[in-house]
Amino acid sequence: MIRVVLNVVSALIFVLLASLLLARCIDWLKAFKAFGCPSLGSCWRMLQLDRMRTVSHLRHRPHALTTSAVGIAAAYWCITLWKSSQNFAPLAFAGALLMLAILRPLSRALPPCVLLLAGSRPEADGLLGRLYEQTHPLGVVSLIKPIDVRGPFEDGTPQEAWRRNLAYFGWYRLPDDVSWRAAVVDLMRIAPLVIIDARVSSANLIDEAALALTIIPHGKLFWIVEKNKTPVLDQVTSQIEARKELLSQAMGEKELIEFVASAARARVRLPPVCRFA
């Protein structure tokens, strides 16, 4: 009886993890369709940045590849046990452990389709959440400091579901200025779409915007503006012609979210620069 129960449980776990792995592979295919194939260097850098993040409950977790190695070792032990017992359960557990070993690096290595640069404030938290919902499962990341705001957004959208997901997938808060600057540069180059919330200025955001203007091709950089109020643009450029060119890529928040949602689903034709690095 115990052997039957173990067989059933192991089979269910195997099927569950196989479904999760298949879903993640489909996410990669969606990313390929919308933004092309990321390089191995970009995927490796995403694994490094994931390890460096300072989100409180993720701070001391092991590297994704470390957990994969442990999973492979445990799977090998299960296969050895299966050879001696000829029972189905160890073999199913071995398969489940191997899929688990693949699943986390596969999830963390996929580059985001959107990098959001904004000041750390409750409104930026809400914008990040709405972008996350519209780009899921391809992803959006930001280096803003998470702000704990209770209750729904102004449009009634509840926060908790996406907040839990973003704590794992979206917030790339880093421990020091050196790490922050290096991460910003890398994410600007990796992400196909870079969005700057130009409505409210801050010292860090002005630095990021100035950096973006030097390293990001014009076609992949977008600005969120409100009634032509662009304090960030006012700080980074004073030339009228340069401002006109930048404002050609500027939209309101709702309009830009709709554009990003269409881009993530490959419904709009993007310029060649809007591809994974």
Q: What is the pLDDT along the chain (277 residues), one digit of tens a residue?
A: 677 777 777 778 778 888 888 888 998 998 888 898 899 999 999 888 887 775 544 454 556 667 777 777 777 667 776 667 767 777 777 777 778 778 888 888 889 899 999 887 777 777 887 888 888 888 888 887 765 544 455 555 555 665 656 655 677 777 666 677 888 899 999 999 999 988 888 888 888 888 888 888 878 989 888 876 777 777 777 665 666 677 778 888 889 889 888 888 877 788 888 888 8
In this structure, what DSSP letter does residue 39 have? P
For residue 193, give the amino acid letter.
L
- Domain positions in the chain are 2-38+46-109, 114-264
The CA-atom distances, in angstroms, between 19 and each of 70, 127, 165 are 21, 31, 19
pLDDT at 234: 73
Structure tokens at 123: 């409104």
The CA-atom distances, in angstroms, between 118 and each of 98, 127, 142, 256 are 39, 9, 8, 14
- Starting at the edge strand found earlier in the chain, the sheet holding 140-142 runs 140-142, 114-117, 193-197, 221-224, 250-251
Which residues fall within 8 angstroms of residue 242, CB to CB, at 6 or more apart? none
C-alpha to C-alpha distance for 209 and 243, rounded to whole angstroms = 13
3-state secondary structure of 224: strand
Q: Kindly report the CA angle at 263 between 257 and 267, in degrees rounded to 5?
A: 120
Place of tokens 């993530």: 264
Long-range contacts for 267-274 (Cβ within 8 Å, ≥24 apart)? 270/35, 270/192, 270/219, 271/219, 271/220, 272/219, 273/217, 273/218, 273/219, 273/220, 274/35, 274/192, 274/193, 274/219, 274/220
- Nearest in space to 245 (alpha carbons), one of 221, 229, 262, 226: 221
- Nearest in space to 195 (alpha carbons), one of 171, 177, 216: 216
Q: Please, what CATH class does the domain formed by 114-264 belong to?
A: alpha beta
C-alpha to C-alpha distance for 115 and 62, rounded to whole angstroms = 25
